[in-house]
């Protein structure tokens, strides 16, 4: 395999291919070509082949890729043979929405704990997931062997929780708080920000109007 540096955009596309392969697998399709994978994920056949060639050669010339084989390889590559245990910090609107989100377990991410500071929210289950006090963060993260923490706290609290989660051995952080995060121990962080995506659309729309080459 001999993997060196894989770009973020490649990884993102691998996820898209995987999604499609899972759908094809359910439908019982056995073979798929790079062109078909490309069409279904808004990219090009050459990119599909180059993306995959980073990790080995999975297809048969003249035929395409065996759906189930490639699905398994991609799950392997993305680290999804492992069953991920996830915690959500912040049981506000977004946090709670995530707790009830059916897509996550289907895709291999089980939310097993939530945390909040508000005593009205803690000590009970939401969608079957226990909500603990943030005081118990380190203990529970360790006991529940949490791999990834999703931050859905107010921005002001995000930095502190990120540090504590990283120190407690969490392996990755997904943050809904816009602010930059620093952790003592290096932990991969990704951000999701609805307003930022809307700003991106606003830019595209605005520059389209002004007749730019987009």
In this chain, which stretch among 55-63, 95-103, 137-145, 168-176 interacts with DNA, using CB under 7 A?
55-63
Handedness of CA 84, 89, 91, 95 (dihedral sign): negative
Please select the residue that binds its own copies; options are 32, 67, 86, 158, rule is CB under 8 A.
86
173 binds, among DNA, its own copies, none (CB under 5 to 8 A by kind): its own copies
45 binds DNA (CB under 7 A): yes
Does residue 24 interact with its own copies by CB under 8 A? no
Contact pick of 3, 27, 28, 57 for DNA (by CB under 7 A): 57
The reply to whether 184 sits near its own copies by the rule CB under 8 A is no
Q: Which is nearer to DNA, 65 or 132 (CB)?
A: 65
Q: Which of 18, 21, 52, 129 is in the footprint of its own copies by CB under 8 A?
A: 18
| Alpha carbon distances (Å) from 187 to 49, 138, 190 | 30, 16, 10
Select from its own copies, DNA, none the partner in contact with residue 200, using the beta carbon and a kind-dependent cut-off of 5 to 8 Å: its own copies
Note whether 95 binds DNA by CB under 7 A.
no
CA-CA distance, 111 to 149, in Å (whole number)? Answer: 9
Give the Cα separation of 183 and 188 in Å (integer).
Answer: 10
Sequence-ordered list of residues with C-beta below 8 angstroms from that of 84, at least 6 positions apart, any chain: 108, 109, 110, 147, 148
Query: Least distance from C-beta 208 to its own copies, angstroms?
Result: 7
Closest to 33 measured CA to CA, from 22, 19, 45: 45
Task: With both helix axes pointing from N to C terminus, report the angle between 8-27 and 67-77 in degrees, rounded to the nearest 10.
Answer: 140
The single-letter DSSP state of residue 153 is S
Structure tokens at 56: 């080995």
Which range, of 46-54, 114-122, 128-136, 170-178, touches its own copies by CB under 8 A? 170-178
Other CB atoms within 10 Å distance of the CB of residue 21: 25
Contact 132, 113 (CB under 8 A): yes
- SS3 (DSSP) at 42: coil
Residues at the site binding DNA, with contacts judged by CB under 7 A = 5, 7-10, 33-35, 43-47, 49-50, 52-53, 57-65
Residues at the site binding its own copies, with contacts judged by CB under 8 A = 3-6, 8, 11-12, 14-16, 18-19, 40-42, 77-80, 82, 84, 86, 93-94, 96-98, 100-101, 103-104, 107-109, 147-148, 150, 171-174, 178, 180, 188, 190, 192-208, 212-214
């Amino acid at each position: 395999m001999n993997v060196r540096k894989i770009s973020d955009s490649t990884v993102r596309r691998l996820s898209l291919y995987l999604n499609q392969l899972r759908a094809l697998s359910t439908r019982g399709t056995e073979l798929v070509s790079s062109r078909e994978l490309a069409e279904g994920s808004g990219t090009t056949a050459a990119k599909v082949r180059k993306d995959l060639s980073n990790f080995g050669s999975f297809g048969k010339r003249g035929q395409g890729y065996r759906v189930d084989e490639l699905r398994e390889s991609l799950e392997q590559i993305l680290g999804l043979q492992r069953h991920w245990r996830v915690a959500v910090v912040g049981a506000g609107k977004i946090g709670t929405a995530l707790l009830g989100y059916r897509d996550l377990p289907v895709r291999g991410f089980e939310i097993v704990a939530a945390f909040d500071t508000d005593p009205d929210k803690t000590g009970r289950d939401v969608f079957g997931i226990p909500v603990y006090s943030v005081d118990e963060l380190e203990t529970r993260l360790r006991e529940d062997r949490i791999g990834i923490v999703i931050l859905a706290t107010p921005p002001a609290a995000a930095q502190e929780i990120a540090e504590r989660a990283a120190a407690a051995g969490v392996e990755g952080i997904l943050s809904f708080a816009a602010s930059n995060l620093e952790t003592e121990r290096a932990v991969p962080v990704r951000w999701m920000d609805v307003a930022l995506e809307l700003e991106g659309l606003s830019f595209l729309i605005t520059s389209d109007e002004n007749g730019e080459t987009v």
